[in-house]
Amino acid sequence: MAHLLDTSTLTAHLPPVVLEVGELFEDAGYELSLVGGPVRDLFLGRVSPDLDFTTDADPDQTLAVVRRWADAYWEIGRAFGTIGLRKDGYQIEITTYRAEAYDPSSRKPIVAFGTSLEEDLVRRDFTINAMALRLPSLELVDLFGGVRDLHAGILHTPGTPTSSFSDDPLRMMRAARFVSQLGVTVAPEVSEAMTRMADRISIISAERVRDELVKLIQGAAPDAGINIMVDTGLAEHVLPEVSALRLESDEHHRHKDVYQHSLTVLRQACELETRDDGPVPTPDVVLRLAALLHDIGKPATRKFEPGGAVSFRHHDAVGAKLAAKRLRSLRFDNDTIKAVARLVELHMRFYGYGEAGWSDSAVRRYVSDAGPLLERLHRLTRSDVTTRNRRKAERLAFAYDDLEARIAALADQEELDSIRPDLDGGQIMGLLGIRPGPVVGRAYRFLLEERMEHGPQNPVDAETKLRQWWSEQPESQESTP
């Protein structure tokens, strides 16, 4: 069915470039419609900087229309019928009507251009994304009840879910992403098809899966998106370590579900992110991935102790290795992999602080080991407290408040964020009369250890300690005549 929207209301939310390009195509004798996410977002009261259009013009004809109008254009997607361009700060893609399917054994789509808007819409992923706005008339085309499903907050597919996911298995990941981003639920038949076809995600490239996972993690409710992946079996192929957490119990609460605990930690970590001017601006992918993966070392380290207790010794170190391996397989960048793995490795470091207390040396090491991840580590550690025991939760919060206060106090005195030995490499070589080599590194590490243990020292004391250390090294005897 088609609906004619109130022009004055709609144009108030539409960027001027939408109507401009619509008039250009109409003047050239072609059809053009705004389609997909940008139409959906109009009903949500927002406008994306990325605008998608579909047309009956082929790529050559599209280029002829927009070449002089666009600020810039590119033809990277030309083989798929897509011309990209930029205009007034908006990223625009204009795609020829098409039908697209996947060969069951191939990752690459088979592209065939279509002849009508209706034919194009039926091949889209979900009804809420299968709406179009004809331009410049502003006629809404909603053949599959997208407005209805958007208001109901439910994901249906235009055709059968089996056909949709067979055409592009990545749509199953996209369903989980929309659960996270839009707060929708999946229709029962969509969930059933995802469960039955979950293994088809394996034909999709790791890079495309990663991109969908990142969008899911950045959503307003990433825990809900992850839960859909686990419930349908998608996670078995994308994040199997997370699915495995359902089998575990917590070391302190034997009947506590570690999987649900991890979702709670993820949700609480999101709540502790800051605004753009804060130290951890939302959404922070590194913090959120670390929160989700922080306990994935538990299945491999579970041990039943005498008396029925369960332990997970060194699950932090094991989990760090597993997290790095999983993120590498998903083709994450090295910086993200290292940061997430480091946070997983450090997430247990705080425990014990409240009971035994830490020396200034231990506090310095905590800060030094966290490095630029310190603010994220603060939030991950606080998020890891999910106990319902109010007294215990308050005790842990108080202990971490105290640790942060001590870090702040030492930072004022010692510049903790850039701890260095009191003498640099050049000074070490000059004082000891040695050339560059491994010995300089050992001397540097000795002075760094002294700095950690005792705090800043004046150059004279540092030189005295260095000379004493040097006198005990075999190389110093070799250089003595």
Higher pLDDT, 63 or 457: 63
Q: Are residues 389 and 427 in the same domain?
A: no
Question: Would the pLDDT of 281 be above 90?
Answer: yes
* Number of folded domains that form the chain: 3
Q: What integer best gives the mean pLDDT of the chain?
A: 86
Query: For strand 32-35 and strand 154-155, is the pairing parallel, antiparallel, or unpaired?
Result: unpaired
Q: Are residues 18 and 89 in the same domain?
A: yes
Average pLDDT over residues 49-72: 94
The model's pTM: 0.81
Asked whether residue 413 is assigned to any structural domain, the reply reads yes
Average pLDDT over residues 23-34: 96
DSSP-assigned letter for residue 257: B
Asked whether residue 168 is assigned to any structural domain, the reply reads no
Q: Which of 129, 146, 163 is a domain's end point? A: 146
**Residue 38 burial (CB count, 10 A):** 25
Asked whether residue 246 is assigned to any structural domain, the reply reads no
Confidence of residue 46 (pLDDT cuts 50, 70, 90): confident
Asked whether residue 263 is assigned to any structural domain, the reply reads no
Q: pLDDT at position 356, please? A: 61
Confidence of residue 481 (pLDDT cuts 50, 70, 90): very low
Domain membership of residue 473 as a residue range: 421-478
Query: For strand 185-186 and strand 154-155, is the pairing parallel, antiparallel, or unpaired?
Result: parallel
Q: Give CA–CA dist 138/34, Å, rounded.
A: 9
Q: pLDDT at position 252, please? A: 47
Percent of the chain exceeding pLDDT 90 equals 57
Q: Are residues 433 and 391 in the same domain?
A: no
Q: Are residues 414 and 277 in the same domain?
A: yes
Q: Give CA–CA dist 443/438, Å, rounded.
A: 9
Question: Would the pLDDT of 457 be above 80?
Answer: no
Q: Which of 146, 179, 212 is a domain's end point? A: 146
Confidence of residue 102 (pLDDT cuts 50, 70, 90): low
Asked whether residue 153 is assigned to any structural domain, the reply reads no
Asked whether residue 200 is assigned to any structural domain, the reply reads no
Q: Are residues 302 and 347 in the same domain?
A: yes
Longest dimension (CA), the chain: 98
Q: In degrees, to the nearest 5, what angle opens at C-alpha 98 toward C-alphas 94 and 100?
A: 120
Q: Mean pLDDT lowest for which of 104-108, 144-148, 264-268, 390-394?
A: 104-108
Average pLDDT over residues 463-476: 80
For 37-52, give the DSSP string: HHHHHHHTT---SEEE
pLDDT single digits (tens) 136-158: 999 999 999 999 999 999 999 99
Higher pLDDT, 459 or 20: 20
Q: pLDDT at position 409, please? A: 76
Q: Are residues 335 and 459 in the same domain?
A: no
Name the residue among 41, 11, 43, 44 with its Cα closest to residue 135.
Answer: 11
Q: Give CA–CA dist 425/41, Å, rounded.
A: 58
Q: Are residues 139 and 32 in the same domain?
A: yes
Q: Are residues 312 and 450 in the same domain?
A: no
Confidence of residue 160 (pLDDT cuts 50, 70, 90): very high
How far is CA 80 from its chain centroid?
Answer: 28
Q: Are 89 and 48 in contact (CB under 8 A)?
A: no
Average pLDDT over residues 4-15: 65
Q: Name the residue with tokens 């502790």.
A: 272
pLDDT single digits (tens) 415-449: 555 566 667 777 777 777 777 777 777 777 777 77
Question: Would the pLDDT of 187 be above 80?
Answer: yes
For 152-185, give the DSSP string: HTEE--SS-HHHHHHH-THHHHHHHHHHHHH--E
Question: Would the pLDDT of 249 be above 80?
Answer: no
Asked whether residue 134 is assigned to any structural domain, the reply reads yes
Phi, psi at 290, each rounded to 5°: -65, -40
Average pLDDT over residues 375-400: 86
DSSP SS3 for 409: helix
Confidence of residue 76 (pLDDT cuts 50, 70, 90): confident
The CATH number for 112's domain is 3.30.460.10
Q: Are residues 87 and 10 in the same domain?
A: yes
Q: Are residues 403 and 443 in the same domain?
A: no
Q: Are residues 318 and 341 in the same domain?
A: yes
Q: Are residues 414 and 291 in the same domain?
A: yes
pLDDT single digits (tens) 340-383: 999 999 999 887 665 666 777 788 888 888 889 999 999 999 99
Q: Give CA–CA dist 167/100, Å, rounded.
A: 7
Q: Which of 111, 146, 181 is a domain's end point? A: 146
Asked whether residue 174 is assigned to any structural domain, the reply reads no
